[in-house]
Amino acid sequence: MNVSSSTHFMLKRLGGARARIVARSVGALAGASIAVGLSLGADSFAGAYANPADWLPATSTDFEGETADNAPYFDIWSQEIGRNNEAARAHGVLIPPGLQAPLAEAHWSIRSDPTIAAVTIVNFDCDPTPVYADAELAILKCPTRTVLWTGPLRAIRNQPKTCFVQSRAASAPAAGPASFAAAKSGAFMSYDVASTSIKVGVIVDHRVLDECSAYLRLKD
């Protein structure tokens, strides 16, 4: 069993000592009938965008501690969080009471009343061979799920593994631009109305990484 690798846009290795993962929230989408929230636990949403097909950056979080913002995703990955804790302890990591071993996650959420939908990717049990790697980044295919909330009902759907961006930097970079065209590197999403899918993609050094482009259907 593998301990989770480093967080989205931040990598600190676990070599016997606890690593704190720094998460970065980077935007939300809204259109005429669709809005993307910063998190499903928050009451507020971002300002409107003219087109739901606009590419916007992902939001990342850390499951080291459960918060109001990451609770919906924390619950979705509860079994993986438990497995990651076991693997971390086996590697000598001490986990303080009330916390979990560091585990990074990235997500996008959309809202069209009365439904909220989300895509969530967890940095655990990823494919061992990176899709891309250089001195600054490592990109791996990691477990992915989509979720639909309609009132009290929740439907979780396993998706093919999608790309998770890790940074080898010693500290988290400054928040990047919300513009897909202006970004140097990062994970982005957009919503495809015709197919009821969320499109996911990754940019590396201003270049679209074709291996990371995918459509994730929210329902059949």
pLDDT of residue 170: 54
pLDDT of residue 155: 92
pLDDT of residue 60: 86
CA distance 53 to 85: 38
Residue 71 gets the label, from left (phi > 0), alpha (psi -120 to 50) or beta, of alpha
Q: Write down the mean pLDDT value for the chain.
A: 74
Q: Is the model's pLDDT at 100 over the cut of 60?
A: yes
Residue of 165 and 8 predicted with greater confidence: 165
Q: Is the model's pLDDT at 166 over the cut of 60?
A: yes
pTM: 0.74
Residue 26's pLDDT band, with cuts at 50, 70 and 90, is very low
Q: How many CB atoms lie within 10 A of CB 46?
A: 15
Average pLDDT over residues 32-56: 40
